[in-house]
Amino acid sequence: MLRAWLKSRFPDLTELDDIVQEAYARIIGMRARREVRQPKAFFFATARNLALDFFRRRRISREDLLGGYDELSVLDEAEDVAENVSRNQEIEIMTQAILSLLERCRQVMTLRNVYSLSHKDIAAQLGISVRTVEAQVTIGIRRCTEFVRRHL
């Protein structure tokens, strides 16, 4: 009766006997742990869930096979990878350049370049004049440029 029901619900099911056997094994295992009040309903529900899992796994394996085409287009993505690596290296060098600055200049450059604060906001936050911020930005840019030239 279960085989006929599965065949009517899932006509494309090729693993019918395996699913029936697994359903039997699960219902026997469940009976060992606790009482099953409606064994027929539990048996059919278990078989239905196993069939659905079968189709899910089959769909996923097909997607994995089709996913192989993405691996063939690695050359197209290589530019993105190279750009990302290059950008990360540039960020690392800039971070080192900013860290090499004196404390006040480093604070000003961090607030300006990382947090994009205006000169006026930086001056207010650090308690210094706008003119000092402008001077520190000029010094920071010059020193960072020299640092980058030395490390490239």
pLDDT in tens, 71-101: 444 444 545 667 777 777 888 888 888 889 9
- Please give the pLDDT value at position 133: 95
pLDDT in tens, 106-130: 999 989 988 889 999 999 999 999 9
**3-state SS assignment for residue 26:** helix
Most confident region among 6-10, 67-71, 86-90, 140-144 by mean pLDDT: 140-144
Please state, in angstroms and rounded to a whole number, the distance separating the CA atoms of residues 89 and 144: 15
- Please give the pLDDT value at position 140: 93
Give the residue-averaged pLDDT of 63-72: 50
Structural domains of the chain, ranges and CATH numbers in brackets: 2-72 (no CATH), 84-151 (1.10.10.10)
Look up residue 8 and give its amino acid. Answer: S
Instruction: Report the predicted TM-score, pTM, of the whole model to 2 decimal places.
Output: 0.46
Instruction: Specify whether the CB–CB gap between 27 and 55 falls below 8 A.
Output: no
- Please give the pLDDT value at position 134: 95
Residue 35 pLDDT class (50, 70, 90 cuts): confident
Q: What angle do CA 85, 142, 87 make, to 5 degrees?
A: 10
φ/ψ of residue 58, rounded to 5: -65, -40
Please state, in angstroms and rounded to a whole number, the distance separating the CA atoms of residues 105 and 147: 14
